[in-house]
């Protein structure tokens, strides 16, 4: 057995400077930096086969372990938002209120699309448990990540629903040699992270055990408001993996992952008109078992069988402090079972044919849904790669999805890359994507107790209306029969085009650029039913309405003058607009009313700023220094987010006035890492 290397790391954050304007919260960011991926780095997400990044015809960014470590960051979202084109975005349903963080959390906006349109995978398998479209990235322990692969542009042809804007695949470590590793992380707000990691590597087997405890006391930005701005929490992550060589031709890989978090809540509510303090907790549990058997049937044929099971539970409850009575509780339970087989034919990594088929069994239950729902889905995918003259790579693929809730979905994709010179490759791809209507849009059955409106998912419309009528909440004179047929929501569909180039004018300089256009149809939105409840409050449901597009480009430049220093920077230009709004502007149907002078005018094309919460300009820049001899590294980085639409103030629900924007901001971070 090899000597066990003890590695005790202390991360010291030298200084952290943060500039904030209107709508940002003064939370200190642990920091990070990235660099452009080198051409021979191997990625799997883009083609579902192991492939070097230089020969992939779609835009891919890779964040390596080294860089994650050097950042000292324990938060995945911080690492991600420092990548070009990945913007931290609040859920469109619940933006920050009065300086409070968004209750629904923040996610990653990719190519100008909301967090719900990016698929998040862990070792190639989807994570479940999205709250209003946002997956809490805090569930993923950073200490166990080998690399993060970000594929931009639709990847539905390989991964199915949700991969409209792209895919973020978090790949965990594999044991290469025996070692034990302990890390301690400390930062402000009494935040502590302890990580223990063990690899045992034998001739025919390898094992990994990983455990992490992370806790924070939260923080309070406004002492005049009862309760903390961010509540304290503690979470535990545990992962166990085994790799077995069953024979010369087959390997078995099995892994178990458990995450559990308890957040302590304490805030003020009103009982009648009297304020009362409540406290309680939110408990989040997330687990998965991932088995994979790889069999080399012959030299040319490989068979991969996967069996993936995952579950997510979120239970929250708060009690009145005065008498310990239950005030409010909520839950969300989700379960997914996913067997899949994949066939790989071909020896050359650039000429492979793959085909796969799988099945999803999914259940979901939540307190705002009428009952538990079960779904079945089948899918099939195939992809072929060709290499011509050692210069032109063409990849064509498609996927077919059949789900209980919607029609057969057919999602083709075509991509190509042409190597002009060894230092210049141009690539182009066109693909389609779809996003299945989410559970909320389908099954919500909820009446607001304070104001009294009712929200009904498209599949609950009939039941919900009948119930309201029976309860006398809808006037007898109203004919609800036309609405007793459940409205079927169609999946949201997209077409995305990406054209880019990778260019290395000198050995030490790499430039990558990508132009993108995404058109999305059938966007799902809320609408009012044409009658009200007896309390005059609206009844809402969901339907397919809008058509939007996002387009822009990004540029990444990386300069490595010597082995110690990396300088890199990135920029994204983005336009994201609603096509229906553009049409209305054309027809002079959209009017704005100045909130001060009350003068009304037609909105012009020039005034229309597009979708809310999108920055036209965003950029990042970093300077990293690392000295292997002294186990010392440091980084300095800046993330800029240009101004973005925040809220409508002139009565037309679109972004068309300078006062409707939030100011841009810069986050400046520095970190120093020293291995002892």
Partner 1 sequence: MKKTILASVVICYAMFLSLSSCKKDEVPQVTIIEKTDSIKVNFSATTPYTFFSFKNDAIVANTDSATTKWDFGLRFTTFILNSHAYGPGNAAAILQNTIYSSVTTAPDAGYAYDTSSAQKAIKDGSWYNYNPTTRTFSPKAGQTFIFKTADNFYVKMELLAVDYETFTGPVPQRLIYRFRYTYQSNGSKIF
Give the footprint of partner 1 on this chain (CB under 8 A).
Answer: 93-95, 97, 269-270, 273, 275, 450, 452, 475, 477-478, 528, 530-532, 535-538, 589-593, 595, 598, 600-602, 647-653
Choice between 450 and 485, CB closer to partner 1: 450
Q: Quote the least distance from Cβ 655 to partner 1, whole Å.
A: 13
Choice between 328 and 589, CB closer to partner 1: 589
Choice between 386 and 531, CB closer to partner 1: 531
Cα 672 to Cα 623: distance, rounded to the nearest angstrom: 12
Choice between 171 and 474, CB closer to partner 1: 474
Q: Quote the least distance from Cβ 440 to partner 1, whole Å.
A: 14
Q: Quote the least distance from Cβ 479 to partner 1, whole Å.
A: 10
Q: How many CA atoms, within 13 angstroms, populate the side-chain half-sphere of residue 296?
A: 12
Cα 373 to Cα 198: distance, rounded to the nearest angstrom: 40
Q: Quote the least distance from Cβ 139 to partner 1, whole Å.
A: 26
Choice between 506 and 598, CB closer to partner 1: 598
Is residue 592 within 8 Å of 600, Cβ to Cβ? yes
Q: Quote the least distance from Cβ 97 to partner 1, whole Å.
A: 7
Q: Quote the least distance from Cβ 230 to partner 1, whole Å.
A: 19
Q: Quote the least distance from Cβ 520 to partner 1, whole Å.
A: 22
Cα 569 to Cα 639: distance, rounded to the nearest angstrom: 10
Choice between 32 and 107, CB closer to partner 1: 107
Q: Which residue has the tokens 């068979």?
A: 303
Choice between 50 and 535, CB closer to partner 1: 535
Alpha helices in 56-186 (DSSP H): 65-71, 76-80, 156-159
Residues in CB range of 130: below 8 A, 6 or more apart:
116, 438
Q: Quote the least distance from Cβ 226 to partner 1, whole Å.
A: 13
Please provide the distance, in angstroms rounded to a whole number, between the alpha carbons at the two ends of the chain: 24
Q: Quote the least distance from Cβ 593 to partner 1, whole Å.
A: 4
Q: Quote the least distance from Cβ 477 to partner 1, whole Å.
A: 5
Cα 638 to Cα 623: distance, rounded to the nearest angstrom: 9
Choice between 152 and 592, CB closer to partner 1: 592
Closest CA to 405 of 364, 447, 454, 366: 364
How far, in whole angstroms, is CA 91 from its chain's centroid?
11
Cα 434 to Cα 655: distance, rounded to the nearest angstrom: 26
Q: Quote the least distance from Cβ 592 to partner 1, whole Å.
A: 5
Choice between 374 and 471, CB closer to partner 1: 471
Q: Which helix (H) or strand (E) holds 585?
A: helix 579-586
Choice between 109 and 427, CB closer to partner 1: 109
Cα 115 to Cα 131: distance, rounded to the nearest angstrom: 11
Phi, psi of 187 (to 5 degrees): -145, -175
Cα 482 to Cα 44: distance, rounded to the nearest angstrom: 50
Closest CA to 363 of 388, 333, 325: 333
Q: How far is the CA of 426 from the CAs of 59, 571, 662, in angstroms?
A: 11, 19, 37
From the number of C-beta atoms within 10 Å of its C-beta (0-12, 13-18, 19+), residue 675 rates as middle
Q: How many CA atoms, within 13 angstroms, populate the side-chain half-sphere of residue 580?
A: 10
List the beta bridge partners of residue 259: 237, 286
Is residue 366 within 8 Å of 333, Cβ to Cβ? yes
Is residue 436 within 8 Å of 496, Cβ to Cβ? no
Choice between 68 and 590, CB closer to partner 1: 590
Choice between 17 and 22, CB closer to partner 1: 22
Q: Quote the least distance from Cβ 530 to partner 1, whole Å.
A: 7
SS3 163: coil
């Amino acid at each position: 057995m090899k000597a066990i290397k003890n590695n005790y790391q202390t991360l010291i954050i030298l200084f952290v400077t943060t500039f904030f304007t209107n709508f940002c919260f003064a939370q200190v960011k642990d920091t990070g930096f990235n660099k452009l991926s080198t051409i021979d780095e191997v990625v799997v997400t883009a083609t579902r086969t192991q492939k070097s990044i230089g020969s992939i015809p779609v835009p891919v960014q890779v964040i390596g372990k080294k860089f994650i470590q050097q950042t000292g960051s324990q938060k995945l979202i911080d690492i991600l938002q420092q990548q070009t084109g990945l913007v931290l975005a609040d859920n469109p349903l619940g933006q920050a209120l009065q300086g409070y963080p968004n209750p629904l959390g923040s996610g990653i906006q990719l190519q100008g699309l909301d967090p719900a349109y990016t698929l998040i995978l862990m070792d190639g398998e989807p994570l479940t448990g999205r709250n209003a479209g946002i997956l809490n990235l805090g569930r993923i322990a950073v200490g166990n990540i080998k690399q993060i692969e970000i594929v931009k542009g639709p990847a539905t042809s390989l991964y199915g629903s949700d991969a409209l804007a792209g895919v973020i695949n978090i790949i965990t470590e594999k044991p290469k040699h025996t070692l034990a590793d302990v890390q301690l992380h400390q930062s402000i707000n009494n935040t502590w992270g302890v990580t223990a990691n063990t690899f045992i590597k034998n001739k025919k087997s390898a094992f990994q055990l990983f455990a992490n405890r992370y806790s924070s006391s939260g923080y309070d930005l406004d002492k005049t408001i009862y309760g903390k701005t961010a509540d304290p929490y503690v979470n535990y992550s545990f992962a166990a993996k085994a790799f077995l060589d069953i024979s010369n031709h087959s390997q078995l890989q099995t892994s178990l992952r458990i995450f559990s978090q308890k957040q302590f809540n304490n805030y003020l509510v009103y009982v009648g008109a009297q304020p009362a303090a409540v406290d309680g907790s939110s408990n989040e549990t997330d687990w998965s078992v991932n088995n994979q058997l790889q069999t080399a049937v012959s030299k040319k044929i490989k068979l991969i069988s996967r069996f993936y099971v995952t579950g997510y539970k979120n239970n929250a409850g708060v009690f009145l402090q005065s008498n310990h009575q239950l005030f409010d509780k909520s839950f969300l339970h989700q379960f997914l079972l996913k067997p899949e087989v994949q066939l790989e034919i071909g020896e050359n990594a650039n000429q492979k044919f793959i085909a796969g088929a799988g099945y999803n069994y999914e259940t979901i239950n939540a307190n705002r849904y009428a009952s538990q729902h079960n779904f079945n889905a089948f899918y099939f995918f195939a992809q072929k790669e060709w290499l011509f003259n050692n210069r032109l790579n063409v990849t064509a693929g498609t996927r077919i999805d059949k789900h209980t809730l919607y029609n057969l979905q057919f999602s083709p994709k075509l991509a190509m890359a042409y190597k002009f010179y060894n230092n210049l490759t141009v690539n182009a791809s066109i693909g389609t994507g779809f996003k299945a209507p989410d559970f909320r849009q389908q099954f919500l059955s909820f009446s607001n107790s304070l104001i009294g409106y009712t929200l009904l998912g498209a599949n609950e419309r009939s039941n919900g209306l009948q119930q309201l009528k029976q309860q006398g909440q809808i006037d007898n004179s109203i004919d609800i029969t036309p609405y007793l047929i459940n409205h079927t929501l169609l999946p949201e569909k997209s077409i995305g085009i990406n054209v880019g180039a990778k260019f290395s004018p000198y050995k030490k300089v790499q430039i990558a650029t990508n132009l993108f256009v995404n058109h999305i149809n059938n966007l799902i939105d809320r609408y009012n039913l044409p009658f009200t409840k007896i309390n005059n409050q609206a009844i809402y449901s969901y339907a397919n309405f809008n058509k939007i597009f996002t387009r822009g480009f990004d540029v990444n430049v990386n300069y490595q003058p010597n082995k110690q220093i990396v300088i890199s920077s990135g920029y994204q230009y983005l336009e994201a607009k609603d096509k229906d709004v553009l049409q209305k502007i054309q027809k002079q149907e959209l009017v704005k009313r100045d909130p001060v002078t009350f003068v009304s005018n037609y909105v012009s094309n020039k005034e229309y700023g597009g979708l809310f919460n999108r920055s036209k300009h965003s950029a990042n820049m970093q300077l990293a220094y690392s000295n292997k001899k002294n186990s010392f590294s440091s980084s300095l980085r800046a993330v800029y987010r240009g101004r973005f639409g925040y809220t409508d103030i002139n009565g037309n629900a679109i972004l068309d006035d300078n006062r409707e924007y939030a100011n841009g901001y810069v986050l400046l971070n520095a970190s120093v890492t020293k291995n002892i």
